Amino acid sequence: MVFLKDLKFTWKFAKNSKKYLVMYIICSIISIIISILIPILSAKIIVNLTNNEFKQLILITIVIFIVENIRNIVHYFQRHNSNILFRETYINLQTELGKEILKLENKVIDNNGTGVFIQRLTNDTSKLSDIFPMLIGYITNIITDIGIFGAIFIISKPVFIYLIFSTSIMYLIERKRVKLRNENDKRYRKLSERASSFVGEMIRGIRDIKMLNSEESFSNELHKKVLNLNTERYKMNKVDRNYTLYGGFCLDLNDLLLILLLVFLIYNKFLTITSALVINNYSKGVTNVVSWIGDLLERTKDFSLSVDRIREIMYGSEYTKEKFGIRHLDKINGDFEFRNVSFSYDKNKILNDMSFKINANKTVAFVGKSGAGKSTVFSLLCKFYDVDDGEILIDGININELDKESIRGNITIINQSPYIFNLSIKDNLRLVKPNITDREIKKVCKTACLHDFIMSLPDKYDTIVGEGGVNLSGGQKQRLAIARALAQKTEIILFDEATSALDNETQKEIQEAINNMKGEYTILIIAHRFSTILNSDKIMFIDNGKIAAEGTHEELIKKSPGYKILYESELKKEN
């Protein structure tokens, strides 16, 4: 059975909380017993009241008071154990799913947008975490009501047959409602993911939106997505409204027919008034069984849908994971080579049989027209994407043989807009090296030409930089990213257009930071500003996805017409 398989999947994340589940079940059993007893005791109150048996009445009232308070205490411990069970399952699920999301290939993230993963990491994990207490709660209520059916069967078989017939009709109506609602829910979740992705992008790009004066366009697009989302929500609610109307009518009709049946049985001496009172007290529980079953069907289908959505990310072929080798290098020298590498993205050929070699501790620049494939070289070197043909070697070893730590632990990319986390400067550096000392922090910041600026701040290294480093200038973010790379102690540092959006003065500071690292690291630079790369040990000129020429600046000016044209055109722009 699919549902049992889904439960088994979820139990992997809850099994450490087994004792809380056992306690919850024990509390539920006590609750069942009390729920069956209370209507019987309540009926005795009415009988004693009508017969003027006041001593018995007081005694029964005290008993009910005690039993009800026992139920309150039991409910307290039920909620306590339920909350712990939910919390532990939720933590384990979110942590594990978060790990799986971080393993996804970059192209999967590119193609799906962030909303897909945010929704599944928050909403779907919540639905799974609640399943065990929810399921036991519903089963408790259903068992209680089935017990009531048994009691009614003993009291009056005609009433029992009638209630079986009436609840069966109401169950069929409820089942139809759940089926229709579940179909709408699938569409709703897809639309919710799209809307969430769009909102995330809009918030992250809010400054650009304002600068482009595009607020109205984005507002219109947001309105369209929210409209589609809430139209689907309206359809779901419409199903609930319609079937609540049908079900409400059936419940009211059931109450009417039940009273008529009880009157008929009493009139014909088939039933005593006391028994009729007990049945009447039980009757609401009997009709509630349909609601419990309907809700249970809805929640289990909702649960199974969430399990499918989480499984898709964890194990699905659509959400492919990054693949690494098993060979580990604690520390690399920094030599690497591209051998006949070809790469396409969305069927667009970007690199075409590219080959080059770079020695450790050299500073090498890559230049070429926009779209020539410069940034792609960096992405492939970091194994963000896999090559179509050819091979990439680090220290003479194929990159596909190396484990993730050997690659990502030895290479850092600093791009045009490095992401700085909403933490203190010190904590941003501790993200890459948790045990970094204050002395090491100051050392890397001095090398990155950032220390003097930090010391001018009121909170110095404890200054919170804001979301995305909003409290820092572009140059300060670049230098903090350089300090972060130095703290990580990677052997290869890649600068991807790191100075293109900076003013000349800030560019000089970044250049000074790069010069401080020369000779100790393999440094690769992509830059439109030729002033930042003229002193490189080697310059690679990329054209049509290949290395068209390589050498120093002076050598390329003499031997490469394409490089000379690019240099002169960029020189005019800089002037």
Same domain, 377 and 441: yes
Whole-number pLDDT of residue 218: 67
In this structure, is residue 325 part of a structural domain?
A: no
Domain limits at 433?
A: 336-574
Here the CATH number for the domain that contains residue 54 is 1.20.1560.10
* Residue 278 and residue 355 in one domain: no
DSSP string of 418-465?
----SSBHHHHHHTT-TT--HHHHHHHHHHTT-HHHHHTSTTGGG-B-
Instruction: State residue 527's pLDDT score.
Output: 72
Q: What is the structure's pLDDT at 69?
A: 87
Q: What residue type is 501 in one-letter code?
A: A
Handedness of CA 259, 262, 266, 267 (dihedral sign): positive
CB 3 within 8 A of CB 304: yes
Residues 303 and 346 grouped into a single domain = no
Q: Are both 292 and 341 inside the same structural domain?
A: no
In sequence order, the 6+-apart residues with CB closer than 8 A to the CB of 37 are 67
The pLDDT, as a whole number, for residue 343 is: 87
List all residues 6 or more positions away from 257 whose beta carbon is below 8 Å from its beta carbon: 162, 166
User: What 3 state SS string does 366-424 have?
Assistant: EECCCCCCHHHHHHHHCCCCCCCEEEEEECCEEHHHECHHHHHCCEEEEECCCCCCCCE
Identify the CATH number of the domain in which residue 539 sits.
3.40.50.300
Q: What is the pLDDT of residue 395?
A: 86
Both structure tokens of 118: 């945010």
> Max Cα separation, the chain?
118
pLDDT of residue 517: 64
The per-residue b/e assignment along 28-66, b for 16 or more CB within 10 angstroms, e otherwise, is: bebbbebbbebbebebbebbbeeeeeeeebeebeeebee
Q: Are both 392 and 530 inside the same structural domain? A: yes
Q: What angle do CA 19, 24, 27 make, to 5 degrees?
A: 125
Per-residue confidence (pLDDT) for residue 408, from 0 to 100: 82
pLDDT of residue 135: 79
Characterise 269 by phi-psi region: left (phi > 0), alpha (psi -120 to 50), beta (else): left
Amino acid identity at 183: E
pLDDT below 50 — which residues of the chain? 501
